[in-house]
C-alpha cells in the first residue's frame, strides 16, 4: 500500500528531473553532480548553482541517512491526502554528503516514534505506472529504538 493512497500525487518529470525519476524507476537513488566543480545538489536543475556549468552528471546517493527535520501533518490542505492523515514530511540528510537534503516520508513512523537524528533506511515505493518513490523506514539501529 502506498504511503499516500491518491495516485494523483505522482511526480510529473520535467527536463531537469527526468533522469532523476528514470534512475528511481531502476531503484537507483541518485543526485546531480556538477562535472566542473563536483558540487552535488538536489533537486536537479540544468545549471550548477555554484559555478553555473551546464555539465551535469549523476552520483549514487549515500546509504547512510538520518532525519534532519520533520513535521506531522494533521490537517489536509488537499482532498487527495485526507485519508492519509496524519502523515509526516521528513527532511532527510546524508551525513557523508552534507550539500544534499531530500524531502520524503518515513512510512513506518508514528507521531511519537520520529526524532531528529534518527537513522533511516531507504525503501522503494512502487506507485504504479513505472514510478518508484524513495521513502524511508526507521533503521533498526536508530538511537531511539
Residues that bind Zn ion (CB under 5 A): 34, 36-37, 39, 48, 50-51, 53
Distance CA 112, CA 23 (A): 33
As measured in angstroms, the least distance from the Cβ of 99 to Zn ion is 11
As measured in angstroms, the least distance from the Cβ of 93 to Zn ion is 21
As measured in angstroms, the least distance from the Cβ of 113 to Zn ion is 39
* H helical segments located in the chain: 18-25
Q: Which CB sits closer to Zn ion, 10 or 36?
A: 36
Distance CA 114, CA 145 (A): 10
Q: Which CB sits closer to Zn ion, 36 or 97?
A: 36
As measured in angstroms, the least distance from the Cβ of 5 to Zn ion is 40
Helix (H, G, I), strand (E, B) or coil at 69: strand
DSSP string covering 8-49, please? Answer: GGS----TTTHHHHHHHHTT--EEEEETTT--EESS--SS-T
Q: Which CB sits closer to Zn ion, 7 or 38?
A: 38
Q: Which CB sits closer to Zn ion, 41 or 113?
A: 41
Distance CA 11, CA 32 (A): 18
Amino acid at each position: 500500500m502506498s504511503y499516500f493512497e491518491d495516485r494523483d500525487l505522482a511526480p510529473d518529470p520535467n527536463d531537469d528531473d527526468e533522469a532523476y525519476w528514470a534512475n528511481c524507476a531502476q531503484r537507483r537513488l541518485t543526485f546531480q553532480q556538477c562535472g566542473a566543480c563536483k558540487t552535488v545538489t538536489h533537486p536537479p536543475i540544468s545549471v550548477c548553482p555554484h559555478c553555473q556549468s551546464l555539465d551535469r552528471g549523476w552520483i549514487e546517493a549515500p546509504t547512510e541517512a538520518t532525519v534532519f527535520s520533520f513535521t506531522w501533518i494533521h490537517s489536509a490542505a488537499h482532498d487527495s491526502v485526507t485519508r492519509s492523515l496524519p502523515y509526516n514530511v521528513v527532511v532527510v540528510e546524508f551525513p557523508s554528503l552534507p550539500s544534499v537534503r531530500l524531502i520524503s516520508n518515513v512510512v513506518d513512523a508514528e507521531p511519537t516514534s520520529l526524532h531528529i537524528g534518527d537513522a533511516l533506511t531507504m525503501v522503494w515505493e512502487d506507485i504504479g505506472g513505472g514510478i518508484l518513490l524513495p521513502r524511508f523506514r526507521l533503521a533498526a539501529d536508530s538511537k531511539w529504538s
